[in-house]
Structure formats: structure tokens, C-alpha cells
Structure 1
């Protein structure tokens, strides 16, 4: 039996795949937007503790580090319902440092822990095509793999606890900086008076081609900024990168710049738009809005 806590934009389709493939899934935080999961066979629970008591594997898909800590260790939380031999899989994107601490606390209860953050956005979640980066023991990874395969396709065991989160932070650095590069390039083309769609098509045939130019570049041209992956959540991930870099005395200047651009986007009301809306923040800063 599986427990799933965190039924947001990403969590809902992930839980749906588990239910649809025959798993008994206990759900917490069921709201009107996720009621369909109960209608399809999911079992609503009144607390995180109840989910943990009734499940062998508990999956978390939550917004940030404090949310994971509260759900795990807060009053009536997951830890209160866990017993030795159970497995927690945290698929949220949170601090690698905190992840190691959470894993140790649960290991002291005889509970296994995997950090398994994902990439691929809402589309990847809906299509069960997420990229999943896993930190934890080989044995726990082998145990979790049949479950993870119901939600993702590119599933990699990166290393020990925290290494999955480290890989996700690295992923978000690359994605964030590339979105910024595409946004700057297409804004440049637009301001110069070129046909932006044709510029993008030309770039797709050269060395600048990327998945982000393909998908997010099209979003920028069409100005379709429904998430997707929200700018405020991506800024959170880059904040994780900045905090970790500071602890290592590591310079990440381009990451810091993109983080600040995302802060500017949030400041002008774009925080709940898809991260491809970063082009709108750049246009605002340049006085180059349509």
C-alpha cells in the first residue's frame, strides 16, 4: 500500500498514475481539485500520520523544505505513523542538507528514506514521463523502482541521501539559465523587428537548439504562461543553489543573476506564471513590452 501527500499540479497526476495501475493509495490533503482521485479509487485520510500508518511506502510531493519537515515531523505527522521497515520517498525539491538530516532521523526509527526529486513539469507528470533523480541506498532504490516507474521514465540512482536533491538543484540551474538565455535571445529578436517565430525556427536547426528553446520558446512567442512550473517555485530552487554555494564558498554568478530576475518577475506579479514568463520580466525591465 502506498501513501501520497501533496496533491498539487504535479502531485495529482503522479498519484493518479499509481491509482490507475492498481495500487491502493492513501491520500492526504484532498481538496476539490483532487477529489477526482478519490472518485477513481484513492482513499482519503484525515492526517499525514494516518497515511503513514496505513502505507508501506509514503511519497511526499510538497513545495519546499519547511513543508516537508512539517509533514514529516510535525504534530500528527508522518513520523508518528511510521514503523520499522517502511519507506519514505520524498519527491519534493528541497535542501540537500536538510534531506540528509531528515533521512538520519528516520533511519533512527528503522525507516528507509529516498530523496527522489523530479524534472519534467506538469506535462511530464501527466504523461508518466518524469526524470527522477534518486538519493539513498541501492536496496531502497531497488525496492522503490517499480513504484517510480509508474511516474517516470528516466530514473537514475545518483548516490546516497541528498545526492538526488543535489542533482535536482544542478538541473534547475541549467534550466533557469537556459530559460533566461532563450528569453533574452527572443526579446532581442522581437525588439530588432524580426519575425520571432522564424528566428526560433532557424535557431532550432543549429547549435543553439534545445528542449527549452523548443517548448518554452514557443510559449514565449504565443505568450501562453499558464504553469507549467511557477516562477516562484523555480526561484526557490535557485535559492537552494545559492545557499549551498555560499556554504561551499562557491561562486555561481549567472545563477545569482537569474535568481534576481525571477525575483523581479515575482515583484511585478508574475510569480504564479510559468517560468517561461521570465521574458515578460526582461521586457518590463527594458521598457520593451508589446
Structure 2
């Protein structure tokens, strides 16, 4: 199967690298990795691939790549598979699914979770929407960078699950960052605080996997930025409104990551939200020697 990849940033580049390490050639567009064969356009990738993977910032970019002039749709063909690994609006996803389906092209929405570290280890979790048959044809490629692949339902279901997951992720990160700043200002030993949280009901992904490193100045690399986290939370708010769900908990992460963006942390990894909170709390830094 000929594999194309469009959009190789923090996550896309790592996923493509996993495919290359497994011994497969990848034709990429917007690529800076030396071990990939680069293409000059979206059209060239589409024409030269049986499966095209997309890893792009948002629905607007996905629509431009797929539906734009001389874009993917103009070159898509029957039997081809397109897998959107971006975090996108489910409404946009189902629209693209219908337009590509009219050409006989399968379109899968595949939200990803696990961050840059999991991408490098080929240990991502994928949540996929679309036809089961198309997923089974794509699975040998998806398995090259994923440890778990879930079929979540019809088109749009994968991106819906991704928004639900990212909302919980954002809420836990924002709340934990605030708690850690409060702990530092209270004079607590942060190692002990984390040990207590991880043995108690406050345990979450951030307490287990993020802050044991952050308190020593390691913010991790390549993960979702504050700006993209805010984008995902806002997509969740739109989804909740459409579904008629009272989103009483969305104000916290919207305010937190919006504040981080306003304070200049937009393009920094979302873990730096703790520094943005620290800035508003007297210049607090969790790790020794970094108090402002």
C-alpha cells in the first residue's frame, strides 16, 4: 500500500517516522524530515498514494487541503482511503465524508491521544469514525504508530470522542496546574503533594504523567500547545451547545488556556499553563530557582 502524509508537525512528523521505521515509504507534503520522500503539492501526494493521512491544526486547514482548488478531493479516486488524524469539528468531518464518498473515497476521522511521547513509541490511542470496512483496510497502517484503535461509530464519531476526551484532559490539566501553584505558595513539598494526590481521589493524567516532570523543570516536548488546547475546548463547547448539554464546567479551561494565550504562552506546550497561572499568582515557578 502506498502511503501519503499531509501535515508533519509535532505529531504528524512522529507518526510518519514510525511508519518509516517499520520499513515503509512515505510520500509527504509539508515535510522537513530527511528520511521522507517529499512531494510538491497536495495533488501529488493524493495521486501517488493509496491511503492519505492528514495531521493538520484545525477544521479550516483540513477543509482547505481537502476541498480547496486542486486539493485532495479533486484528485481523490474510488477505493482510496483518507484518514484525518486532526482534531476537527464533527460537522465539518461528516460534510467532507459525504463529498469524498461521492467519489468512492473512504474518509475516516481518527482522533489521537497520547501526545508526542506515545507517538514516538508507536503507542497512540486512536478513536475512529467511519465505515468498519474502511477501517480494516487502513488498520495495517494505523497499527504502525498506534497501540489501541477503537471504532467509535459512523463518520464524525471519532472526532466527537476526541473532543470529549480533550475536554477532560484540558479540565484536569488546568485544575491540577492551579492546585500545584497553590501548593507551592502554601510551602508544601511538591513531591509529597503529588504522592498524596496520586494515592487519593484527585488522581488524574496530569498528576500521574505531567507534573512529576514539571516540578523538576521538564515541561516535556512536542505536545499540544495552549492555543490548540483552547481551540479544542471551544470545539467541545460548540458540540455541547449543539447537543443541548449544559456545559457548566467549560468556563474553567476556557478561561485558563485563554489567559495562557493572552500572556504569551500561545505556542508553548500546554503544560506551561502552570507558569501562566504562576504569573498571575505573584511570579510562582514550581521548580527550584525559577521563582520570578
One fold, TM greater than 0.5? yes
| Post-superposition offset of 1:288 | 5.0
- From 119, 130, 134, the counterpart of 1:125: 119
Hey, what's the Cα distance between the residues in 2 that align with 1:158 and 1:107?
19
Question: What residue in structure 2 maps to residue 266 of structure 1?
Answer: 261
Question: What residue in structure 2 maps to residue 28 of structure 1?
Answer: 29
Question: What residue in structure 2 maps to residue 135 of structure 1?
Answer: 129
Q: 1:263 to 1:219 in 2, by over 3 A?
A: farther
Question: Does structure 2 retain, via aligned residues, the 8 Å contact 1:47–1:76?
Answer: no
| Post-superposition offset of 1:198 | 1.8
Question: What residue in structure 2 maps to residue 114 of structure 1?
Answer: 108
Hey, what's the Cα distance between the residues in 2 that align with 1:137 and 1:263?
36
- Do residues 81 (structure 1) and 75 (structure 2) align? yes
| Post-superposition offset of 1:282 | 2.0
Describe the SS at the equivalent of 1:264.
Answer: helix
| Post-superposition offset of 1:45 | 0.8
Question: Does structure 2 retain, via aligned residues, the 8 Å contact 1:219–1:276?
Answer: no
- Do residues 220 (structure 1) and 220 (structure 2) align? no
Deviations 1:117-168 (A, max 9, x none): 1011111111100010000011011111111110111110000000000000
Unaligned residue ranges in structure 1 (runs of 5+): none
Hey, what's the Cα distance between the residues in 1 that align with 2:229 and 2:266?
9
- From 35, 38, 53, the counterpart of 1:37: 35
- From 224, 230, 239, the counterpart of 1:229: 224
Question: What residue in structure 1 maps to residue 274 of structure 2?
Answer: 279
Question: Does structure 2 retain, via aligned residues, the 8 Å contact 1:91–1:117?
Answer: yes
Output the TM-score relative to the length of structure 2: 0.93
Q: Which has the higher helix share?
A: 1
- Do residues 153 (structure 1) and 147 (structure 2) align? yes
Give the alignment's Cα RMSD to 1 decimal. 1.4
Hey, what's the Cα distance between the residues in 1 that align with 2:178 and 2:213?
14
Question: Does structure 1 retain, via aligned residues, the 8 Å contact 2:13–2:33?
Answer: no
- From 46, 50, 75, the counterpart of 2:44: 50
Describe the SS at the equivalent of 1:35.
Answer: coil
Hey, what's the Cα distance between the residues in 1 that align with 2:95 and 2:166?
22
Deviations 1:214-244 (A, max 9, x none): 2211243123335422111111101111111
Question: What residue in structure 1 maps to residue 14 of structure 2?
Answer: 13
- Do residues 172 (structure 1) and 166 (structure 2) align? yes
- From 240, 251, 259, the counterpart of 1:256: 251
Describe the SS at the equivalent of 2:241.
Answer: helix
Unaligned residue ranges in structure 2 (runs of 5+): 285-290
Deviations 1:165-188 (A, max 9, x none): 000000101101111221122112
Question: What residue in structure 1 maps to residue 287 of structure 2?
Answer: none
Of residues 212-221 and 171-180 in structure 1, the stretch that sits farther from structure 2 once superposed is: 212-221
Question: Does structure 2 retain, via aligned residues, the 8 Å contact 1:51–1:81?
Answer: no
Aligned length: 283
Describe the SS at the equivalent of 1:222.
Answer: coil
Question: Does structure 1 retain, via aligned residues, the 8 Å contact 2:11–2:222?
Answer: no
Deviations 1:36-64 (A, max 9, x none): 233xxxx2111101111111101000011
| Post-superposition offset of 1:254 | 1.6
